[in-house]
Amino acid sequence: MCGRYILIQKAEVIEKRFGVKVPDTVHLVPSYNIAPGKLAPVITNDRPYEIQLFRFGLTPSWMTKPGLFVNARAEGDHNSDNNPNYTGAKGIITKPAFRKPIRSQRCLIPADAFIEGPEKEKLSKPFLVYLRDKVRPFAFAGIWDSWKNPETEELIHSFAIITTVANEVMQKIQHHRSPVILHESDERKWLSNSIPLADLTRLLHPYPGDLMNAYPIAPTIKNPLADDPGLIHPVGERLMSETIIRNSHEARITGMGSNKHFGFDDSNPLGK
């Protein structure tokens, strides 16, 4: 699953990257620990040029009590053993909680990175996972829905991140799933109301592992109330070495170094 992620970009960066506007009524707060139940920015298919704040954790409209579907499996009930080579049916189109949203209520979920741990240890052994070459923010493929609290009649808009089979990076972390990260060229397709369902489900595949990397962080991230730059400081080496070109000089990164993380100085986390 993907139950924690990061978004610390300024509003103008998000606006430029996704071709949207942040309304004056929407106050974006940078977060190093977006956890289920928190409000987070989304771009929906019914308002594709505007940022909205929805709750992380989808409650289908037909439920009588609030629920939190943090993730939606692309395979639905298929691929029960989470075979990373699975290429079969996308059962998400038939799951009761997701079959309507996947057809008519899709969204982009902007992020800078996400947090994942091994299947057994989970966030007791967390890794920060990011896209190489400073590709951020990026967008998860998501679905959304609106639920009215029968007691208070409050209307709650919520979303879930779609997951798929594990790519090479997630397998190295020993986690069985990957969040679906869309290529920038596919983002508007995902929001389109005229693309056939079969074409949409073809986008639900893992992001190339060779374009990603990860490093371990402290389990403090488990606390959903924790939210500060220290959460993403490395406590070990990157999973894979990287070559970064700076000022025409090539520097080989084989570990984290004494004062570097995520390819930036500690004084400038995530390139903010």
Give the active site residue among 2, 75, 107, 187. 2
Shortest CA distance to 32 belongs to which of 115, 137, 138? Answer: 115
Report yes or no: 174 and 119 within 8 Å, Cβ to Cβ.
yes
Report yes or no: 64 and 107 within 8 Å, Cβ to Cβ.
no
DSSP-based three-state secondary structure for 207: coil
Shortest CA distance to 115 belongs to which of 187, 204, 223, 210? Answer: 223
The type of residue at 106 is R
Q: Has 107 been annotated as catalytic?
A: no
Sole residue written with tokens 């057994």? 120
Q: Has 116 been annotated as catalytic?
A: yes
Tokens of 181: 């990260």
Shortest CA distance to 113 belongs to which of 89, 134, 88? Answer: 134
From CA 178, how far away is CA 205, in angstroms rounded? Answer: 9
DSSP-based three-state secondary structure for 232: helix
Q: What is the radius of gyration, based on Cα positions, of the chain?
A: 18
Count of CB atoms situated within 10 Å of the CB of 200: 19
Give the active site residue among 75, 107, 116, 187. 116
Report yes or no: 232 and 211 within 8 Å, Cβ to Cβ.
no
From CA 195, how far away is CA 160, in angstroms rounded? Answer: 21
From CA 113, how far away is CA 111, in angstroms rounded? Answer: 6
Known catalytic residues are 2, 116
